[in-house]
Amino acid sequence: MTRVQKMLGTPLARTAAVLLGLVAVLAVLAPVIWGRRAETVDMTGILAPPSAAHWAGTDGLGRDLLARVLVATRLTLLLTLEATAIGVVAGFLLGAAPFLLGRVLGRAVTWLIGMAVAFPGILLALFFAVIFGTGAASAALALGLASAPAFARLCQTLVAGVLARDFIAAAQIGGVGRFRILFRHILPNIGAPLAVNATAGAGSILLSFAGLSFLGLGVQPPAYDWGRLMMECLQSVYVYPLASLTPGLAVVLAGLAFNLTGETIAHSLGIVTMSGLRGQSRRARAASRPGSRRAGPTGPASVRTSGASDWPVVPADVELTSQDDGAAALLSVRGLRVTFPTESGWVSPVRGVSFDIAPGEAVGLVGESGSGKSLTALAVAQLIEFPGRVAADAVRFAGAELTDGTSHRHLLGTSLAMVFQDPMTSLNPTRRVGAQLAELGRAHGGLNRRAALARAVDRLEAVRIPEPARRARQYPHEFSGGMRQRAMIGLGVMLNPRLIIADEPTTALDVTVQAQVLDLLASIRRRDGVALWLISHDVSVVAAVCDRTLVMYGGRIVEDLPTARLRTAAHPYTRALVAAVPTMTTDVTAPLATIPGRPPGPGELSGCAFAPRCPLADDRCRAEEPAVVSAGAHRVACWHVAEAVR
C-alpha cells in the first residue's frame, strides 16, 4: 500500500480530501468565473429569496448571494492560510525555544506557553485584535499569534521526540551549531506531523476568522469573506431570514474539510495531534487513575529436559473409567469454550474444558500466561463480556445450570466470590473501602446500610486488617498492596460464599506478603468450609494450598491430578513445570531449568498444543489432538500416556 493510499484509506478521509480539493479549485476559479456577477448591483431585486435566477437569493444591493459566497472562497482561504502560516512559524520558533535558548530561558518560554494554552483561543485573538486593530491583515496576524501557543506545544512535543534520537546526539558531538541542527536535522523530521496538524488547525482558524469578520473586526468592505457575508446577511435577517445559511454552510463545510483531512491523515499515519495533546494533559492531571490491566507475568516455563528413560511414568493405579456426571460437585464444568472475534476470524483461547470442584475442596489451576486459565475463570463466573462468547455443554454451580440463559444474579452474588490479580486496580479508587464491601451486603445480603457497614468492618477484621473501623472509612490508595488484597478477600467473604475463585491473587504482591495472603485464603477455607479455586502460573503456590491441581496448556486442561502426586505427574508439560521449581536440594551450580520455546497463540494449533516444545513429540502428537485418559481422580491428555495405558 502506498503512503497516499494509506492516508486516504477510509471513506471519510477521501470525502474530506475531495471537499478540500473542491474548496481549493473554487478559490482559484470562482473569482474568474463569477467575479462580475458577484459585483452586479440590481436595485430592483434587493434581498430577494432564492429563485431560478439567484439560487441563494440576493443581498441588500441586489447582488447574487451564491456568486458572492463562491467568489469569497479565495479571500477566505488566503487569509486562513496566512494566519495558519503565522501560527505555525511562531509556534515552531516558540516550541524550539527550549532547544535554542538553553535551560533557564527555555523553561520560562515553556511556562508561558503552558499558561497561554489555558486561555481560550478567541480571547487571545481579541487581545491581539486590540493591539493590531481591525482589518483583514490585522485579523490574520491576531489569529496567527493566537494559534501559536497550541502549535508551540505540539512542536515542543515533536522536537523533544526527535532530540531523544541518536543522530541528534551525533550531530551535537560533531559540533554542529544549534540553528543548523534545528533546520537541517529537526525540521525535516517533524515536517510531516507539523503539516498534518497545520491542516487540521487551519479548519479551526477558518472558523475563527469567519467569527472575527462576522463581528466586523476582520475583513472590511468593500472586500468580503464568508464571515463578512454572514454579518451582512444578519443585518437583513428580518427581510430574508435564511440568507446567512449559504455563507454559513460554506464556512462549516470548509472548516470540516480542513479539520477532517488533517485528523484522518494523522490517525492513519499514527501522528500525534493537537487534540490528542489536549487529551494527554487531561489524563496527566487525572494522574494516578489506575489504567489498563497489568500484563500477567510469564510463568516459570522451565524444565530440565527429562531423559527418555524416566518416561512413561504412569501411576500404577491408573484405570480407565468414564467420567461421572459431576452431580455431587459444587461446580461442574463440561466442554467450556470461549471464543473471541479477531480481524482474521474467530479464535478460541479456551477449547473444551471440563472439571469438577467438590464442596470445600481446594483446586489449583496452573498454566503459563495465555494458556486460557483466567478466561476459564471469567467464563465460569459469567463475566466474559461482548464480543467474547462462551459456550459449554454444562456449567453447574450449587445446583443451578448457569448456561440456561437466565442471569442467576443472586446466586452468583451470594455464593460465588472472585479475588482478582491486581489489588491496586481492582478496588474502585473513588469509593471508601468499607462502602465497597457493604454494597454487596446491601445488594444480595438483604442488609440495611448500617448492618452492611458493620458486616464490612467485621469482615475486614476477619481478614486481619488492623483497626478495621477506621480502615473501612479510608480509600484504597491509603491501603498497602497486601492490605488491598486482603480487603478484596474480605469482599469475597462478605456474604457466605460456597466457592472463592482467586485469580493470581498473589502475583502482584511482594514475596513476604504473598505467603500471608495464601495463608489467609487457606485458613478461611478451613474455617468456613468454602471451596477454593486458585489460579496461578506458579506450581509451588498451588502445591502449598490445593488438594487437587488442574494443569492448563493451550486452552485445554492437559492434566488433572491430586496435588500430592505432582512429583509423579504423567504429562510431560506438568513434569516440566514441576521440575522448573527450584527446591532446597536443587543443584545451584546447574543452570535453572527451562521449557524451550513459547506457548502457542490461539489459532495456531494442530494436534497436541504442547507438541512443538515436547521432547517426546512424534508425528501423531503433531497431527491429532490427544484424547483424555482418566483413572479415578487422575486425568491426562497425552498420546504417550494413552498408549502406555493401553
User: Which residues between 276 and 295 bind other proteins (CB under 8 A)?
Assistant: 282-283, 285-293
Residue 80 binding other proteins, by CB under 8 A: no
Residue 642 binding other proteins, by CB under 8 A: no
Shortest Å, Cβ 522 to other proteins: 22
Q: How far is CA 640 from CA 143, 597, 633, in A?
A: 77, 21, 19
Answer whether 369's CB lies under 8 Å from 297's CB.
yes
Minimum CB distance to other proteins smaller for 217 or for 638: 217
Spatial separation of the C-alpha atoms in residues 149 and 125, rounded to whole Å: 12
Q: Which of 69-77, 88-96, 435-443, 615-623 is the region at the interface with other proteins (rule: CB under 8 A)?
A: 435-443
* Closest alpha carbon to 444 in 415, 487, 486: 415
Give Dmax over CA atoms of the chain in angstroms.
111
Chain positions 375 to 394 lying near other proteins, rule: CB under 8 A, are 381, 383, 385-387
Q: Which of 177-185, 393-401, 404-412, 527-535 is the region at the interface with other proteins (rule: CB under 8 A)?
A: 404-412
Select from 46, 61, 85, 215 the one that contacts other proteins (CB under 8 A). 215
Spatial separation of the C-alpha atoms in residues 21 and 23, rounded to whole Å: 5
Select from 64, 232, 361, 439 the one that contacts other proteins (CB under 8 A). 439
Spatial separation of the C-alpha atoms in residues 418 and 341, rounded to whole Å: 26
**Burial status of residue 196 (CB atoms within 10 A of its CB: 0-12, 13-18, 19 or more):** buried
φ and ψ at residue 637, rounded to 5 degrees: -115, 90
Chain positions 227 to 246 lying near other proteins, rule: CB under 8 A, are 230, 233-234, 237-238, 241-242, 244-245
Strand partners for 410: none
Q: C-alpha grid cell for residue 25? A: 479549485
Q: C-alpha grid cell for residue 208? A: 475563527
Strand partners for 401: 396
Residue 491 binding other proteins, by CB under 8 A: yes
The DSSP bridge pattern shows strands 548-553 and 362-366 to be: parallel
Chain positions 292 to 331 lying near other proteins, rule: CB under 8 A, are 292-293
Minimum CB distance to other proteins smaller for 258 or for 355: 258
Residue 451 binding other proteins, by CB under 8 A: no
Answer whether 350's CB lies under 8 Å from 335's CB.
no
Minimum CB distance to other proteins smaller for 318 or for 500: 500
Residue 488 binding other proteins, by CB under 8 A: yes
Minimum CB distance to other proteins smaller for 289 or for 526: 289
Select from 129, 229, 463, 638 the one that contacts other proteins (CB under 8 A). 129
φ and ψ at residue 419, rounded to 5 degrees: -120, 120
Task: Give the total of residues touching other proteins (CB under 8 A).
Answer: 78
Find all residues with CB under 8 Å of 603, minimum gap 6, and list them. Answer: 342, 344, 345, 347, 348
Q: Which of 154-162, 214-222, 526-534, 627-635 is the region at the interface with other proteins (rule: CB under 8 A)?
A: 214-222
Select from 350, 362, 418, 489 the one that contacts other proteins (CB under 8 A). 418
Minimum CB distance to other proteins smaller for 440 or for 521: 440
Answer whether 444's CB lies under 8 Å from 410's CB.
yes
Residue 443 binding other proteins, by CB under 8 A: yes
Shortest Å, Cβ 41 to other proteins: 24
Residue 262 binding other proteins, by CB under 8 A: no
